[in-house]
Structure 1
Amino acid sequence: METILTINNLDKKFGRVHAVNNVTFDIKKGNVYGILGPNGSGKSTTLGIILNVVNATSGNYSWFGGNMETHDALKKVGAIIERPNFYPYMSAYENLKLVCKIKGAPIEKIDEKLALVDLLDRKDSKFKTFSLGMKQRLAIASALLNDPEILILDEPTNGLDPQGIRQIRDIIRHIASLGTTILLASHLLDEVEKVCTHVVVLRKGVVLYTGTVNGMISNEGFFELQANDNLKLQNILMQHNAVDKIEENEGKLMVYLKAPLEAAELNRHLVGHNIYLNHLVKRQYSLEEQFLQLTSPSK
């Protein structure tokens, strides 16, 4: 699979603040990547470096296999890293026509991109009349005018209402389905889980996880159990070699695993010790639970 972007040991310090700390990851063509982390984790700084608007302290990155200079490579990149900024008294079409002149993109692309973000019927409306969600969608259309190989978005749903968030998510999915690689930075777990195939988790500039979203949430999971005699149940469970730890919550035992264990196998084991459950549910950790574990200050 073609590599769009390679980042190696990227470092950025602002005085005593280590904003980006030895960050390394690759972006492969055709995937949707999320850089996920709390505010102040280094997401925007990382994007600023690869877009050549922030100078790295050390480390390096290369676009498209390093076969072209950054200036030329960025012509194949579409990016929105700040709030949409267009001329308020010009229409959507007029604003995009100006962008086409700056980017050297054909004007014929304007209607196509406006349709893609569901703004074609508002092409003649002035930018100042647009809602925040519409402004963000126009910015996405603007970033797509040169048919970039990768689209970079920094907090694309920030400040939007639920309807606006859903519209942006649907647009991102659609753009990805057309073959465009996407890299977005977000502190919203739901956003990343619903639109991304891969995730890079940052905390205080340090990469805590890089890989697929499914890989992050796949785990041995845990059981939620209850029996008439929870104390006896707990004692038997602690003797099982797949059990890591047990916690009690509202009369139920949360049984955390360190090795694979299926519900049927566990049930047979307990019946063999004359324990009959009146509640058994096997759960997987959500992306939120995994994220909170990774980014916990105690880690």
Structure 2
Amino acid sequence: METILTIENLNKRFGAVHAVKNVSLEIKKGNVYGILGPNGSGKSTTLGIVLNVVNKTSGEYRWFGGTMETHEALKKVGAIIERPNFYPYMTAQENLELVCKIKGASYNKVAEKLEVVGLLDRKDSKFRTFSLGMKQRLAIASALLNDPEILILDEPTNGLDPQGIRQIRDIIKTIASQGTTILLASHLLDEVEKVCSHVLVLRKGEILYSGKVDGMISNEGFFELQSENINELMSALQNHPAIEKMELEEGKLVVYLKSALEAKDINKYLVEKGIYLNHLVKRKHSLEEQFLQLTNKN
């Protein structure tokens, strides 16, 4: 699979503040990557560096395997890293045509991209009449005019109402389904969980996790178990090699895992010890629980 962007040991200092600390990431074509972290975690700084608007302190990044200079590579990148800035008294179509002129893109792209973001019926409306969500959707259309290989979005749903958030998410999914690679920075767990295939979790500039979203969620699973004799159940599981710890919660035994264990295997293990369950549910931590566990560690 083609590599779009490689980041290696990236560092950025602002005086005494070490904003980005040895961040490494490889972005492969066709995936949706999320950079997740609280405000001040280094997300926007990292994006600014790879987009050549913030100077790195040390480390390296390469676009498209280093086969072209950064300024040439960025012609194949679409990005929104600030609030959309269009002419208020020009229509949506006029604003996008102006962007086409600047980017050297065909005017034919305007209707096509307005359709993608659901604004074709508002092409003749002036930008000043648009809601915040519509302005953001127009900005995405603008970033797509040159048919970029990767679309970079910094906090794309910031300040939007629930309907606006859902519309942006749906648009991101549509763009991704058409083969465009996406990199988005967000502090919203829900956003990353719903639209991203891969996630990089940052806190104070440091990587806490990097990999597939599914991999992060499934790192630790847990069982809810119940039988006629809870104490006997606890005793039987005390030395099981896959179990990290157990807790009693509302009459159920919550069993936390340190390695993979399927429901059928724990059931068989207990039956062989003469214990029969009347309740057996396997659960996974949500991305939110995983994120809080990661970011609350010292």
Structure 2 match to 1:254: 254
Give the partner amino acid of 1:154: D
1:15 aligns with 2:12: no
Show the counterpart of 2:204.
204
Say if 2:110 is the partner of 1:121.
no
Gaps of 5+ in 2: none
Equivalent residue number for residue 3 of structure 1: 3
- Sequence identity (%): 77
Deviations along 1:103-125, whole A, 9 cap, x unmatched? 11111111111111110110010
Cα gap change, 1:60 to 1:259, in 2 (>3 Å): closer
How far apart are residue 210 of structure 1 and its match? 1.5
Q: Provide the residue aligned with 2:285 in structure 1.
A: 285
* Separation in 1, partners of 2:43, 2:203: 9
Cα distance between partner residues in 2 of 1:103 and 1:232: 71
Residues 220 and 261, structure 1, Cα contact 8 Å, conserved in 2:
no
The 2-side partners of 1:297 and 1:260 are apart by 23
Deviation at 1:73, TM superposition (A): 0.9
- In structure 2, the residue matched to 1:270 is 270
Measure the CA separation in 1 of the matches of 2:271 and 2:245: 21
1:147 aligns with 2:144: no
The letter of the residue matching 1:83 is R
Provide the C-alpha distance between the structure 1 equivalents of 2:249 and 2:19, rounded to a whole number of angstroms: 39
**What residue in structure 2 maps to residue 137 of structure 1?**
137
Cα displacement string for residues 8-42 of structure 1 (whole angstroms, at most 9, x for unaligned residues):
11000112211100001111111111111111110
Map of 2:174 onto structure 1: 174
> Which deviations, in whole Å up to 9, do the C-alpha atoms of 1:110-146 show, x marking residues without a partner?
1111111110110010111111110000000000111
Are residues 1:188 and 2:188 paired? yes
Query: What per-residue deviation string (whole Å, max 9, x for no partner) do you get for residues 218-267 of structure 1?
Result: 23511112234322322222132222101222222210122332223322
- Which of structure 1's runs of 4+ aligned residues deviate more than 4 A? none
1:192, 1:124 → 2: CA distance? 33
- Give 2:83's aligned residue: 83
Residue type at the aligned position of 2:96: L
Residues of 2 paired with 1:265 and 1:101: CA distance?
63
Whether the 8 Å contact between 1:41 and 1:205 is mirrored in structure 2 is yes
Equivalence for 1:40: 40
Q: Which amino acid aligns with 2:54?
A: V
Residue-by-residue CA offset, 1:160-204 (whole Å, 9 max, x unaligned): 111111111111111111111110001111111111111111111
Aligned pairs, how many?
298
Moved more, 236-245 or 113-122: 236-245
* Corresponding letter in the other structure for 1:121: D
The secondary structure found in structure 2 opposite 1:40 is coil
Name the aligned partner's letter for residue 134 of structure 2.
Answer: M
SS at match of 1:61: strand
Give SS of 1:121's match: helix
Q: Which amino acid aligns with 1:22?
A: N
Which 5+ residue runs of structure 1 have no aligned equivalent? none
Q: Cα distance, 1:269 vs. partner?
A: 2.9
Separation in 2 of the partners of 1:287 and 1:160? 22
Taking the aligned partners of 1:181 and 1:77, their CA distance within structure 2 comes to: 10
- Output the CA distance in 1 between the equivalents of 2:147 and 2:225: 53
Tell me how far 1:78 sits from its aligned partner.
Answer: 0.5
Q: 1:118 is matched by which residue type in structure 2?
A: G
User: Over aligned residue pairs, what C-alpha RMSD do you find?
Assistant: 1.4
1:61-80 counterparts in 2 under 5 A? 61-80=61-80
SS in 2 for 1:147: coil
Amino acid at match of 1:90: M
Mapping of 1:214-225 within 5 angstroms? 214-219=214-219, 221-225=221-225
Could you tell me which amino acid in structure 2 is paired with residue 227 of structure 1? S
